[in-house]
Amino acid sequence: MIRFAHGFHFPWRSLDRLRAACRALARAAARPGSPPLPPGRPEQGRLSWLALLGAVFGLGLAVATGVYLARERDDMLRNAGRETRNTALVLASWVESGLRAIEVFEAATVAWIGSQGIDTPEKFRARLSGQAVHDNLVARVAGLPRVRTLFFVDAEGQYVAGTGAWPPPLLDVSDRDYFAALRDDPSRERFLGGPLRALTDGRWVAHISRRISAPDGSLLGVVAASIDLVDFDDLFENLALGLNSSVTLSRQDGLMLARYPGPDAHIGTRFEPSEALRRILSAGPGGTLHVRSPVDGILRVAGVWTVKAYPLIVVVSRAESEVLAPWRRLAGRLGLGLLLVEGMILGGVLLTRRLAMARARVREARLREYQAALDAVFGNSTAALNEVELPSGRFLRVNHRYCEMTGRTEAELCQGLTPADVVHPQDRQEIMRQWRAAIAAGRHWDTELRYLRPDGTVVWGRISLAISARDEQGRPTRGLTVVQDITELRATAERLRHNKALLRLGMQIGKIGTYRRDIVAGSYECGPEMRALHGLPTGDAPLSDAAWLDTLLPEDRERLRDEIREALARRLPEAAFHYRVRHPVDGTVRHIEARARYEYDAQGQPLRSAGAAIDVTASREAEARIAHLARHDVLTGLPNRMLFGERLDEALARAKRGQGFALLLADLDGFKEVNDTLGHPVGDALLREVTARLRAELRETDTLARLGGDEFAVIQSSVDQPQAATAVARRMVEVIGMPFDLDGRQVRIGTSIGIVLAPADGLDRERLVKAADMALYRAKEEGRNCWRFFEPEMDARMQQRRALENELRRAVAGQEFELFYQPIVDTASRRVNGLEALLRWRHPERGLLRPAAFLPLAEDIRLIARIGEWVLARACADATTWPDVPKVAVNLSPAQFAHRGLVDAVTAALEASGLDPGRLELEITEAAILQETEATLVTLRRLRALGVRIALDDFGTGRSLLNLLRHFTFDKVKIDRCLTCDLRRACEGNAMAILRAMTGLCTDLGMTATAEGVETEEQVRLLSRERCAEMQGRLFGEPCPAGEVPGLLQRLAVVDGTATG
């Protein structure tokens, strides 16, 4: 006995005994060759009716033959009607497509006439009677193969133009139906005319005409297309419908347009439609009828179909005599056969009656025995049983349990239902195929299936079918079926399979392996996931302890063995372990975390364990990557500030034990300009190249770190100092000073290095770093691209620098800056062309400071942008108070020019002051545009778009920018004071030639040349001779505050008047 969940149990053994008993009963009642089981009435009654049955069968056969012949005749006529109707439908569609194409063409022609402004009969005749219209019609009608001609007729019925001969003939068609119908009925838009003889060759044609109306609705004319009806005859002839068949195209009023075969004499004849044809036309688009043809008097089967949207019908007919010729031959053969069959039936009835009577008594005895046994089984069984008739499968008998399983009453099941009616629809086809195969083979059949109850519930059953009765030929006539309800069993098995698959899927996704270990036998049983984790071959063969341990890394084996021994010695119920394996296929090392549960005997001795293992390689590697990223620079892979501090602490610990080291701090000179002008991607690539070069110059024992930005640090340990530090610093300066090739760009930078020595300069980390930073600052002060060792007095200088930083920040916040202005005069007239704004810092203690004293520091601490914005705003505001001054010039530092907000700052200053942009001149030094990049050109063009003037300052002091002048023309070029300081000596050397070349270049490019540092009249004379347009210097006035500018302008105006007077 098997017990299920919820306390349900099934008596399998009792049911098996019941199935065996039913099979034995079936075998006893259905032995091969046994007579068939008789029905309930006595055998004598059946035999009495046997003779009558033979007679009735013979008569029925005769009647059936007659009915069959009658149906065959009707079917032949019906099929002929369907064929002719379908043929008529196809022909009607062909005719419709041709007429619709013509109608669409005519409608398009009418629309074209309306679009041409033809709204009077006079315009109609005048515009459409030309040869161009004739040629256009001929070309367009070529695409309409069913159109013979196309022509226009005016409102009087006169031929205007067409596709016929040119010039058009004088024809009057006012009496033709296709014109008169449209003329007489203004509501009619189109008309299909009757057949007419063509004037040219006498062929039958029909016309499709369309009305052309004026805007007021009056008739302008008619466009008509003639169709050659002979084309229809050709088509009908090619159909090959058979002897005495015909095809007719007529109007619905009975007017015949075309017929095949002829005669042509009936074309244009109107035949009155029959009553049957009228009914067909009123009921639908087509049909069939039997009619005697009015043309040849033959009785015909005709198919009729109307041409959609046109008053036409197509009639396809066949002679009835030809249709029924096969039927007549069939009737003759069947009549002869019927006579033979009737004779055979009579003899068979007599013989069968004699044999049946002899076997009736035996069958009655067997029936009583079978019925008694079957009644006992059906009445007393708790299993589901049914008996069916074979081969139909109709239920003959069912018990109450089978009714419960199928959800139907006994009356419902036994009123003609079969097993196919109660089986689930999804199983029906396959189950019935197997059922029929078993019945055909006459064998026992077992299977499982689903029943679908009327309420929608599904019941699973295991059925066992046995043949319970056979006829005289041994063919099954009845079958007995025993059904077991296995619904709960299937549900339990399905839940088990689902949970197992879900568990397996989870283990595969999570890479979780399971194992069992027999501690006593020293063997492992591993699941497939566990074998995959360890790289073991698939299979179920147990592994020895040694074989399992061999899959681990050698350095983990002994440790894991000790951990397991300790867990067993402590009798722990569970233990967790971590170990590593090397996969034998790909060679990768995998981290495995395992947890085991142990079983012990009564004496505490370990027996076995079971556990699970999971691959944690990804998480371990992620932890390692996170730890690496926390201590290394992402861009260069160098130790970051954190790891550098740890390495420095280690070096300091060694220094305390007598192992000295050198600390080098390096800054990249010019890196910020590269980063600002060429972009961050190029800057990142430059940092990686710098890293590669520095690594090549250092030993493996040295530490190279990136502290941030362009700041690097080197810890050089266990060396002879200071010689070794000097050597490595020299190599660093040399390799960084060499050009870098970055995506086809040649970039040059330098480096400044500060060096401290330990323990000579101290053993405190913060003090050493601070000292190296001061040495680095000294290297930058003394020209950059060099190295300096720390000296004690640097600390004082650093303190001064930091004090100046704080004072400069307070100056920006408190606006302690002022603008002084120096005049720019015209060389020829000495008139003031503008003022250059010069920045001064009025220091509370040190007095008035020039830009060289504080602007480099402002650039270092990133204050230059704020100061530059203030200068722009102040200069623009001051310029608005001097309307007679043509322009004011403002210098832009390299850092300010590289700032992203420069254009916005200029725009804001102009808007706030209201200054005309043409009065603002921005002076940009050569150093500011050191890198000739697209970004530089974009900034210059954006400034030019504001309307301000742009001057190139200090021209001739840096590297050549001639290539930039090819892409951008400055408004002004300012010649540096170094070329104008002593023009008398310049006349004797090459400097004058350089000056002459510069002024000539400015003249040729349309730029103003302005000379700075003019202090003598001799310089003025030489500059005038070399066509220098403007001058600036002490000769014309010292820089002065804004409040003194009016007086300066007045003094220069007096000088100008004297000079020009």
Could you tell me if 105 and 194 lie in one domain? Answer: yes
CATH number at residue 740: 3.30.70.270
Could you tell me if 635 and 618 lie in one domain? Answer: no
Measuring CA to CA, how many Å separate 338 from each of 59, 67, 347, 350, 420?
Answer: 10, 13, 15, 19, 39
Reading the block at residue 964, the tokens are 């930039």
Burial class (CB in 10 A: 0-12, 13-18, 19+), 343: exposed
Cβ–Cβ < 8 Å for 231, 145: no
Could you tell me if 563 and 647 lie in one domain? Answer: no
Could you tell me if 217 and 337 lie in one domain? Answer: yes
Is 493 within the bounds of a domain?
A: no
Could you tell me if 718 and 736 lie in one domain? Answer: yes
- β-pair partners for 374: none
Reading the block at residue 769, the tokens are 């770093």
With CA atoms as reference, report the closest residue to 22 among 422, 478, 366: 478
Q: Is 1045 helix (H, G, I), strand (E, B) or coil?
A: helix
Q: Is 1009 helix (H, G, I), strand (E, B) or coil?
A: strand
Q: What is the pTM of this model?
A: 0.40
Contact partners, residue 541, CB within 8 Å, separation at least 6: none
Q: Which residue is it, tokens 């370990």?
A: 606
In whole angstroms, give the CA distance from residue 627 to residue 81.
Answer: 92
Select from 584, 603, 622 the last residue of a domain: 622
CATH number at residue 834: 3.20.20.450
Measuring CA to CA, how many Å separate 494 from each of 11, 498, 499, 500, 810?
Answer: 22, 6, 9, 10, 82
Could you tell me if 451 and 405 lie in one domain? Answer: yes
Is 378 within the bounds of a domain?
A: no
Is 358 within the bounds of a domain?
A: no
Residue 589 domain boundaries: 510-622
Could you tell me if 399 and 304 lie in one domain? Answer: no
Label each residue of 452-521 as H, E or C.
ECCCCCEEEEEEEEEEEEECCCCCEEEEEEEEEECHHHHHHHHHHHHHHHHHHHHHHHCCEEEEEEECCC
Backbone angles phi, psi at 883, to 5 degrees: -65, -20
Cβ–Cβ < 8 Å for 194, 206: yes
In whole angstroms, give the CA distance from residue 292 to residue 638.
Answer: 109
Burial class (CB in 10 A: 0-12, 13-18, 19+), 7: exposed
With CA atoms as reference, report the closest residue to 182 among 150, 215, 224, 210: 210
Cβ–Cβ < 8 Å for 324, 77: yes
Select from 329, 345, 361 the last residue of a domain: 345
With CA atoms as reference, report the closest residue to 595 among 621, 576, 618: 576
What is the residue type of 1035? L
Could you tell me if 666 and 760 lie in one domain? Answer: yes
Cβ–Cβ < 8 Å for 776, 752: yes
In whole angstroms, give the CA distance from residue 412 to residue 77.
Answer: 44
With CA atoms as reference, report the closest residue to 98 among 301, 267, 3, 235: 235
Could you tell me if 853 and 978 lie in one domain? Answer: yes
Is 568 within the bounds of a domain?
A: yes
Is 932 within the bounds of a domain?
A: yes
Measuring CA to CA, how many Å separate 756 from each of 368, 585, 735, 765?
Answer: 124, 53, 21, 11
Could you tell me if 163 and 310 lie in one domain? Answer: yes
With CA atoms as reference, report the closest residue to 666 among 554, 781, 777, 502: 777
Q: Which residue is it, tokens 């004499």?
A: 265
The C-alpha torsion from 758 through 759 and 762 to 767, rounded to 10°, is 30
Cβ–Cβ < 8 Å for 753, 780: no
Residues of the chain with pLDDT under 50: 1-14, 28-42, 986, 988, 1058-1061
Is 957 within the bounds of a domain?
A: yes
**What pLDDT score does 1 carry?**
40
**What pLDDT score does 906 carry?**
94
**What pLDDT score does 983 carry?**
64
**What pLDDT score does 649 carry?**
93
Encode burial over 214-248: b for 16+ CB neighbours within 10 A, e otherwise: beeeebbbbbbbbbbbbbbbebbeeeebeebbbbb
Q: Which helix (H) or strand (E) holds 769?
A: helix 765-781
**Start-to-end C-alpha separation, the chain:** 138
Q: Indicate the DSSP class of residue 532.
A: H
Could you tell me if 678 and 724 lie in one domain? Answer: yes
Is 152 within the bounds of a domain?
A: yes
- E strands, 740-871, are 740-742, 745-747, 750-758, 787-789, 817-826, 832-843, 847-849
CATH number at residue 463: 3.30.450.20
Could you tell me if 636 and 677 lie in one domain? Answer: yes
Select from 557, 589, 622 the last residue of a domain: 622
Is 45 within the bounds of a domain?
A: no
As for how many domains the chain has, the answer is 5
In whole angstroms, give the CA distance from residue 654 to residue 717.
Answer: 9
Cβ–Cβ < 8 Å for 383, 483: yes
**What pLDDT score does 963 carry?**
65
Pairing of strands 445-452, 395-398: unpaired
CB atoms within 10 A of CB 313: 24
Reading the block at residue 710, the tokens are 């362009």
Sheet holding 523-526, edge to edge: 543-544, 523-526, 512-518, 606-615, 589-600, 574-582
In whole angstroms, give the CA distance from residue 388 to residue 465.
Answer: 10
With CA atoms as reference, report the closest residue to 937 among 907, 960, 904, 970: 970
**What pLDDT score does 287 carry?**
84
Cβ–Cβ < 8 Å for 750, 735: no
